[in-house]
Amino acid sequence: MPRAYGATLPDWVFDELAAVPGALPSVEERMALVHRLAARNPLEGSGGPFAALVVNTADGEVVSAGVNLVLSSGLSAAHAEVVALSLAQLRVGTWDLGAQDAADRELVVNWRPCAQCYGATMWSGVRRLVIAGEGPELEELTGFDEGPMREDWAEQLRRRGIEVVSDVLREQAVEVFAGYRRVVAERGLTVYNARGATAPASDTPSKGAVVA
């Protein structure tokens, strides 16, 4: 049995980060970078069209970046949010990004997190979740399953001290998903469900379930 697991960001992510200022004052600037990373990720073969940043809310400093690394790492949990949160925690030196006296930090993602990353966000210590949007477009355009969410998902975050900001560059997010759909069709990629082999009840794959 292996003793350790992990995931590594590809070099092109750092190229993208080097092309923008180290501080991004507005949420729109932060989300625009997330959209660029999300659009490029499937073309680079790391995983699905999803990206995330951890940012200091007040001054816009980019603490960490993440993209979906399910295919490149071989780990189903390596969604963009988990990657960004984990790298931020290593950089800051604690598993709690909201530790006392810390600057308020936020997670910026190009759609409402899936069921797993919803919980991961809750336990990470970020004080704010900034998303491009929520709704059926992600599942309809990409075929990915977001998983079951409670109706009061945002209120549950707020109760734990995490603000939710939505509809930041929403149309651009949908464009990224539509672009992904075109690429899947053009390149003949197969979008399939991990559970599809023997479990007919499920009809959409998880965020990692896309392979060539």
Residues 2-41 that bind a second copy (CB under 8 A): 2-9, 14, 17
124 vs 172, which CB is nearer to a second copy?
124
The residue among 156 and 166 lying less far from a second copy, judged by its C-beta, is: 156
Q: Please state the separation of Cα 120 from the chain's center in Å.
A: 11
Does the footprint of a second copy cover residue 156 (CB under 8 A)? yes
Q: 55 pairs with which residues across the strands?
A: 62, 106
**Of residues 178-197, those binding a second copy (CB under 8 A):** 194-195, 197
Q: Tell me which of 25, 76, 135, 187 binds a second copy, using CB under 8 A.
A: 76
The least distance separating a second copy from the CB of residue 212, rounded to whole angstroms, comes to 14
**Binding to a second copy by residue 96, rule CB under 8 A?**
yes
Return the CA Rg of the chain. Answer: 16
DSSP symbols for 81-122: HHHHHHHHHHHHTSS-TT-TTPPPEEEEESS---HHHHHHHH
Question: Could you tell me the smallest distance in angstroms from the CB atom of residue 203 to a second copy?
Answer: 9
Q: Is 147 among the residues that bind a second copy (CB under 8 A)? A: yes
C-alpha distances in Å from residue 150, one per residue of 96, 103, 123: 25, 29, 17
Q: Which helix (H) or strand (E) holds 164?
A: strand 163-165
Rounded to a whole number of angstroms, the minimum distance from the CB of residue 40 to a second copy is 17
Distance CA(101)–CA(8), nearest Å, equals 29
- Is 75 or 178 the residue whose CB approaches a second copy more closely? 75
Are the C-beta atoms of 65 and 110 separated by less than 8 Å? no
Judged by CB under 8 A, does residue 80 bind a second copy? no
| Sole window of 24-32, 109-117, 130-138, 178-186 interacting with a second copy (rule: CB under 8 A) | 109-117
The yes or no reply on residue 148 touching a second copy (CB under 8 A) is: yes
Question: CA 181 to CA 184: how far, in whole Å?
Answer: 5
Query: Residue from 59, 90, 135, 182 that binds a second copy (CB under 8 A)?
Result: 90
Q: How many angstroms from the chain centroid is the CA of residue 81?
A: 4
Check residue 58 for interaction with a second copy (CB under 8 A): no
